[in-house]
Amino acid sequence: MESLVSTEWLANEMGASDLRIVDCTRHLPGTGRDALAEYEAGHIPGAVFMDLADLVDAGAAVENTLPPAEKFASRMQSLGLGDGSRIVLYDDSAVKTAARAWFMLKMFGAHDVAILDGGIAKWKAEGRALTQGKEVLRHRHFTVWQDDKNLRTKAHVLANLHSKDEQVVDARGAKRWSGEEADPRPNIASGHIPGSFNVPYTALFNADGTFKDKAGLKAAFQGAGVDLGKPVVTSCGSGITACVLIFGLHLAGKDDVALYDGSWTEWGNDPDTPKATKPAA
């Protein structure tokens, strides 16, 4: 299974015994939208609902921190996602939250994971079937393991300011990155990690919500000054849209990419971390 699958592919695979479809929609606070209620009102047949708001480390100092491996595995087992499953993820979120689920599943050991190109919006636009209610699947074993090689901490990113071994790429909008626009969270500074590049996650998509092709994805990064021959660390507000950049780079054939999970929520809240701003042109 490819990492990105089409609605046509999914429609043809429906009913396969090893296929698991997952709605990973999560909305930002303040949108007034309820992802679970929307799922129950209409979802792709057979899809279970992954509650990304619950898939966090409740004891972490920074919001939206990745959960412990055991917690993640337990949640996956209860959803019926396990060893041997082909997992297709989709969302209906402005911040493309299926990429966060993809990153977690890959980090915690799932092998065959894909994102539905265009999400449920494209599925609906094509007039394909929807189901109401809540799907419940039989529990399956999910082998617990965790590979942290694609994770970076604040200490890593601070050290990188001097070593410059990795390029930091920020997925936030240009005005948030430059400091022209204040951070929406209280007590969080404006600006960006010094030396970081800005590739807003929205730059990776076509007008219909599908991902750009390989050439278009590469152009989005190279146009912002990113050298695709060197390692990358992605960041954003709280670690969600940074995963969109990781998935986009994966589609472009680049996998030496890591996530700074604390992202700007952690960096901008620390008075001792250096911050940079870019004057308006």
* pLDDT number for residue 138: 85
Please tell me the predicted confidence (pLDDT) of residue 281. 57
- Taken in order of first residue, the domains within the chain and their CATH numbers are 4-146 (3.40.250.10), 149-267 (3.40.250.10)
What pLDDT is recorded for position 141? 87
Which of the residues are catalytic?
A: 236
Q: Which pLDDT belongs to residue 279?
A: 75
What pLDDT shows up at residue 30? Answer: 85
Identity of residue 139: H
Q: Which residues in the chain land under pLDDT 70?
A: 280-281
- pLDDT number for residue 280: 63
pTM for this structure? 0.97
pLDDT at position 202? 98
